Amino acid sequence: MGVSHYTVAGLTMIGEPGSIRNNENTPGGRAGPRVDRRSFLKATGTGLAATGLAGCLGDDDDGTVTLGAMYIFSGFASLYGDEAERGFDLAVEEINENGGIDGQDVEIIARDTEGDADTAIRQMTSLIEEDGVDGLFGLDSSGVAQAMAPQVEEQRVPLMVTHAATPFLTSPEGEHDNSVGNEWVFRNCNNLSIDMYGAAQVAAELNATEWATIGPDYAFGYETWDYFQAYLEGLGADAEFTEEQYPGLETSDFTPYISSVIGAEPDGVITPLWGADLTTFLGQADEAGWFDEIEYTLFSVGMGTDLPADGSPLPEGQHASTRYDPFVPESEENETFRETYYEEYDTLPTYNAEGAYRAVYLYKDAIEGDENDPEAIRDTFTGMEHSGPVGEYRFDEETNQAVVPAIWGAVSQDEEWESNVLDPVDVYDVTSDELDDLLADSELPSGV
C-alpha cells in the first residue's frame, strides 16, 4: 500500500524550481545551485502550465496516470471514505504490480469532501488545476454530487461516481427540474431509482400494505420515499403510505421520530438512514421496541455501514439492499476480488470498496491503448461495456448510468466470514425502459 496519499496544497513542485528545471532537462537530478527570481518565475509558470495542460507531471520519465479520489474521510460518514480507500488502494496495487496502464503507474490523490458541496468543489478545483489529475472518481453524498456535476462539465474532466445515488445525477439536464446529468458525469454503481425498484419488488411480495419512512432530512431521504411510492404504485401493489419522518443529519436522539413511526403502526418501513446516523438509530429503535412493533424494516443503505462490523449490526432477518454483494455473481472475477480483499483487510468488501476498486479499473480500461486525454476517456466511458466483481454491465449511452441490478436480501450473520451477509439474496435485473414504464404516472426520471 502507500500509493494513495492525502495532500493539502498540491503545490510542492512549484516551490522547487530546480526540480521543474530538471524535469525539462536533467531527469533525476536535484535542484541546481543557483536560481534567480526570473528563472524561478519562469520555471513556476512552466510548471503550472505543464501541470494544467498535460496533467501528468510525474517524477518519472514514463509519466503517471493520476486520478483524484473524493470521499468523506472525516465526520459522521468517514467509514465510507475508509472503505473506498481500501478498494482503490487494492486496485492501484494490482495494476502497478502488473505493469501499470500502458507502462505508466497509477497514482491516486485522495481528498476529503467532508460531505460538503463547497469543500468538495474546492478540492475538485485543486485536484484539476494544481494536481492535474487525468480523471476524478468517488463521491458519497448525493447533495455533493449534484453540486459537482455542472462543475466537472465546466472543467471538462470525467467524473466516475461510485456511491452517491440520486437519480437526478444521471438524468440528462432538462429532463426534470432537478436533473444535472451531463456528458462528463458517469456512475458505476446502481442508483436510488434502481434500488427503490428492488425495494418495491421486495415490498410487493411482503404481507404488508401500510408503509412509512424515516430518512435523512435532505434530498436523499425525500427521493427515497418518492421513488419507493412511485415504483410500488407502478407495480400496482396494494399499498398505502401513512407516515414519513425526516430527522436532520447527525441527529443524536431519534426517539421522537421513532415514536411517531411506531405510533402510526405501519406494516413496514423503508429507511435510507446511513452512516453513523443509522448506527445511532438502530440502538435507539431497538430500545423503543421498534422490531417488536414493526414487522418489516427495509434498510436501503444498511449494508454499506454494516459489513465492517463496528457499531450495531442490522438485526438478522430484516431486509437490506446493497449496490454490490461479495457473493453475487458467482463469477471467478468476483471470487478473486473477494478473496484478495479479505486476505488484505480481514473483512469482506463493502459496496463502497468495490465501487472505488472498479472505478480505477474503469480508468485503466479506458486509457489503455488509447490517448490519456479527458475527452478520449469520456468518449470511451460513454456506452462502455465493462466487467468487474459486480458482474458484466454497460453504461447507458444517454444517461451514463451503469445498468446494474438491484440487490436485496435478508440480513444474516455468517460465521465463516464473521460478518453480516445477505442470505437469501435476490437480484433484480431491470432495463431503463422497464423503469421508465413503471414511473410513467409520476414525474420522476429513472436516471438509468
Partner 1 sequence: MDLSVILWFVSIADIVIGLSLGSRLFLIAVGLSLIFGVLGVLNFAHGAFYMIGAYVALAVTNHLIDNFWLAVVAGALAVGVVGVLIEVGTIRPLYERAEGELDQLIVTFGFVLVIHEVVRFVWGSQPYSMDAPASLAFSVSIAGSTFSAYRLFVIGAAFVVMAGLWLFVTKTYFGALVRGTSSDREMASMLGVDVPRLYTAVFFLGSFLAGLGGALSAPLQSTSPALGDQVIIDAFIIVVIGGLGSMFGAFVGAMLVGLMQAIGPQFIAAGHIAIPFVAMVIVLLFRPEGLFGGIGE
Instruction: Provide, rounded to whole angstroms, the least separation between the CB of residue 217 and partner 1.
Output: 6
CA distance 423 to 402: 25
Instruction: Provide, rounded to whole angstroms, the least separation between the CB of residue 213 and partner 1.
Output: 9
Instruction: Provide, rounded to whole angstroms, the least separation between the CB of residue 254 and partner 1.
Output: 9
The DSSP line for 89-132 is HHHHHHHHHTTTBTTBEEEEEEEE-TT-HHHHHHHHHHHHHTS-
Question: CB neighbours (10 Å) of residue 183?
Answer: 17
Instruction: Please report where in the chains the cell 530546480 appears, as a residue.
Output: 18
Tell me whether residue 301 or residue 359 sits nearer to partner 1 (CB atom).
301
Burial environment of residue 114 by CB neighbours within 10 A (0 to 12, 13 to 18, 19 or more): buried
Tell me whether residue 40 or residue 241 sits nearer to partner 1 (CB atom).
241
Dihedral over alpha carbons 233, 234, 235, 238 (to 10 degrees): 20
Tell me whether residue 302 or residue 405 sits nearer to partner 1 (CB atom).
302
Tell me whether residue 280 or residue 322 sits nearer to partner 1 (CB atom).
280
Tell me whether residue 132 or residue 302 sits nearer to partner 1 (CB atom).
302
CA distance 168 to 165: 9
Tell me whether residue 63 or residue 115 sits nearer to partner 1 (CB atom).
115
Instruction: Identify whether the C-beta of residue 186 lies closer than 8 Å to the C-beta of residue 159.
Output: yes
Instruction: Provide, rounded to whole angstroms, the least separation between the CB of residue 114 and partner 1.
Output: 9
Tell me whether residue 158 or residue 215 sits nearer to partner 1 (CB atom).
215
Enumerate binding residues for partner 1 (CB under 8 A).
Answer: 74-76, 78-79, 217, 244-246, 248, 250, 252-253, 255-257, 259-260, 262-263, 276, 279-280, 283, 287-289, 292
Instruction: Provide, rounded to whole angstroms, the least separation between the CB of residue 415 and partner 1.
Output: 25
Instruction: Please report where in the chains the cell 413511526 appears, as a residue.
Output: 261
For residue 70 the three cell numbers come to: 473524493
Q: Quick one: residue 281, left, alpha or beta (phi over 0 = left, psi -120 to 50 = alpha)?
A: alpha
Instruction: Provide, rounded to whole angstroms, the least separation between the CB of residue 315 and partner 1.
Output: 15
Instruction: Provide, rounded to whole angstroms, the least separation between the CB of residue 282 and partner 1.
Output: 10
